Structure 1
Amino acid sequence: MAAQEIKDAVQAYTGLSPAAAFTVLALMLATYLIVSTLFVAPDAAASAPAAHPQPPQQQKQVTEAEAEAEEPFVPLFPDPVQVGEITLEQLRAYDGKDPAKSILIAIRGQVYDVSRGSCLFSLELRLFYGPQGPYSLFAGRDASRALALMSFDLNDLTGDLEGLSPDELEVLQDWEEKFKERYPVVGHLPCEKGNS
């Protein structure tokens, strides 16, 4: 009796037969496990024991001189640098084309460093917002209006919020909250019309 109730509930909830629903669930779980193994933190990979450790006589011994001569570690992303008040013209220099500079995006006058983030895909963010990335046109610009309208039109890359509907302003608010959760605020635009 309980098995039939479970079958009926699965079909009512998913719209699929129980066999199809469990197959989809198994495929989703397998995909998640495969994809999640691709995003191992560098520290975890370095501290994990090797699958096939070499015998001691084959391991390379590093002398102190060799260790000192090694190249210094250069982080993949520069640390966020506080830029303070920054003009739109100055912001354009942080568009991801210079790998030594952070990638910055402004929303409602606040400037966020989107070079890296706290999510699983932080290693991909420079590709995400950098040149050739799907959101590269937002880099180095005030994306307030474009985000509110969910637009990729260059004319919408402005802080001018005039004429936006309450629903569009709510969309912008959602984007702003996501940015606040994920990226550090590193500066602000001067107070001008539209940057409120």
Structure 2
Amino acid sequence: MSVQLWETLKEAIVLYTGLTPSTFFTVLALILAAYYVVLGFFGGQPERPRPRHTEEEEMPPLRPPVQLGEITAEELKAYDGTDTGKPLLMAIKGQIYDVSQSRMFYGPGGPYALFAGKDASRALAKMSFEEKDLTGDISGLGPFELDALQDWEYKFMSKYVKVGTVKSELPVTESESTAEPSETTSRDIDTASAVKPNEDGKSEIGAVKKRKLFRR
């Protein structure tokens, strides 16, 4: 019985498809394989839920910028992003900006993380990542470097909130802080020279009077 069914099936395949039974079943197998491949690409398997513990969700929400006023460069180091409870700060030309919204760039592990918590004016101007350039000293920079620094400053002014300034650490001598400016005039100099004692112990004023008397 089964032999007769197989012979009938082969005759039907040849009659309706024009293919030999072996060719027909080969084509059928290829069609089924292609179907399962396509089904796998377009949702044949249920999508696995993605883990929700991403880096962004682990980050604390951004807090409103807090004005710090004037702080020292040493105090600024505490805001380099290692303490997530503090804002992420960076300074350019002595002006401190809150860059917390760009933590992926300036925070720990970011490409510009070494600039955080510092006045990196010189490094930004020179596009340098060397430790010696992580300073606010911009003396000796060329015009192109100063232009680059200006572009960085414009970018920070337009994107971030200024929250303070870096206190200047230039030493001030006691004489500079207490001395009052003196206004010395030529009249004072003439007066001082007029009362200067000469070699005989007498003032120049007396000598001048004597010369006037002899001339009369």
TM-score range, shorter chain: 0.5 to 0.7
Of 176, 179, 185 in structure 1, the residue corresponding to residue 156 of structure 2 is 179
Distance 1:177 1:191 in 2: 22
Which residue number in structure 2 is paired with residue 38 of structure 1?
A: none
Shift of 1:190: 1.5
Query: Does residue 79 of structure 2 align to residue 102 of structure 1?
Result: no
**Can you give the 5+ residue segments of structure 2 that lack an aligned partner in the other structure?**
1-58, 171-216
1:161 alignment partner, SS class: coil
Percent identity (aligned): 61
**Can you give the 5+ residue segments of structure 1 that lack an aligned partner in the other structure?**
1-73, 117-124
Which residue number in structure 2 is paired with residue 150 of structure 1?
A: 127
Which residue number in structure 2 is paired with residue 138 of structure 1?
A: 115
Query: Does residue 167 of structure 2 align to residue 190 of structure 1?
Result: yes
1:173 alignment partner, SS class: helix
TM-score, length basis structure 2: 0.50
1:131 alignment partner, SS class: coil
TM-score, length basis structure 1: 0.55
- Checking the alignment, whether the CA contact within 8 Å between 2:60 and 2:84 is kept in structure 1 is no
- Moved segments of 4+, more than 4 Å: none
Query: Does residue 57 of structure 2 align to residue 80 of structure 1?
Result: no
Is the radius of gyration larger for structure 1 or structure 2? 2
Which residue number in structure 1 is paired with residue 191 of structure 2?
A: none
Shift of 1:75: 5.7
Distance 1:142 1:128 in 2: 16
Distance 1:140 1:75 in 2: 19
1:79 alignment partner, SS class: coil
Distance 1:146 1:111 in 2: 16
1:112 alignment partner, SS class: strand
Higher helix share: 2
Distance 2:114 2:168 in 1: 23
Shift of 1:153: 1.0
Query: Does residue 97 of structure 2 align to residue 112 of structure 1?
Result: yes
Distance 2:67 2:156 in 1: 16
2:100 alignment partner, SS class: coil
1:128 alignment partner, SS class: helix
- Structure number with higher relative contact order (C-alpha < 8 Å, ≥ 6 residues apart): 1
1:187 alignment partner, SS class: strand
Aligned length: 112
1:100 alignment partner, SS class: coil
